[in-house]
Amino acid sequence: MAFVDDLREVRRAGFPLRPPFLAVTTGIWLVCLLVFATAGWIDAVREDPQADYPAYLMAWTRGLLPWLFLFPLVFKLGARHTNANLQDSTVSALVAGTTAMIAVLAYAAVAFSIGTGRSPLETLASFGVRDFLWDVVLFAMAFLVGRQMRPELDPRTTTGHSPGSLAVKSSGRVEYIPVASILGATAQGNYIALHLDERDVLHRTTMAQLETALSDAGFIRIHRSHLVNPSKVSVARSRGESFRIIELSNGVQLPVSDRYRAEVRQQLDQRVLG
């Protein structure tokens, strides 16, 4: 089915905010809305058999409206932390959760003061902590579910043949270095230092030329002076949601510049298998 294929595409691309993904989160929002509205109506019927279900449905729709937009954002935030340690995930979740709750409080103060003659601040003061407990639960559930996901490896980005070798001229000879053995590269003046497992090899070329030559092998730019093979990255050190330092399998550490951080994280996440 085309819809199933679209969902797979969403997973490969790291859960972007595309229609199939938004359709799923909207469906989850509708289920939550019906469950909460029905439960509230059943409780009301026990005291008043004439309780109006549409009124409860409308009230819960107004109350849960922010989550129609927050569900996909929080889920995506959690998915971006599939490779992060617990401490980084907790810090990010607390910051994002605080921001989300401030947005929910601001929305509730305005939405529930309409037609009541009360100011938003008076409306907000009338709420209790229990009125927002479900918002905390919904945030935690969306973040944790997203964190458990693993973007699939896109078979279209891999090839079944060897990426070949790179001809490196040095000291009157040409050394053919298998591309698969190159961990990364660093610009050093008029040369590029190719990082191998146990040594570095100087190659006279430009970073732009090398990036073009190695693009089909999956190499990615992390800095104006650094290029890496994602399959040779052993550690990605982060601060908040952004990768700051990439450590190659031979222990060499390379910085990640602001310009490339989002792309580096996306490319590394796409290469994680569940």
HSE-up (13 A, CA, CB side) for residue 138:
26
Sign of CA dihedral 243, 249, 255, 261: negative
Looking at this protein, which amino acid is placed at residue 91?
V
Tens-place pLDDT, residues 131-156: 888 899 999 888 888 777 655 444 44
DSSP for residue 158: -
Nearest-angstrom CA–CA distance, 253 and 199:
14
Tens-place pLDDT, residues 163-215: 688 888 766 678 889 998 999 999 988 889 999 988 998 888 888 888 888 88
| 228 touches 219 (CB < 8 A) | yes
pLDDT value at position 242?
66
pLDDT value at position 95?
85
Looking at this protein, which amino acid is placed at residue 9?
E
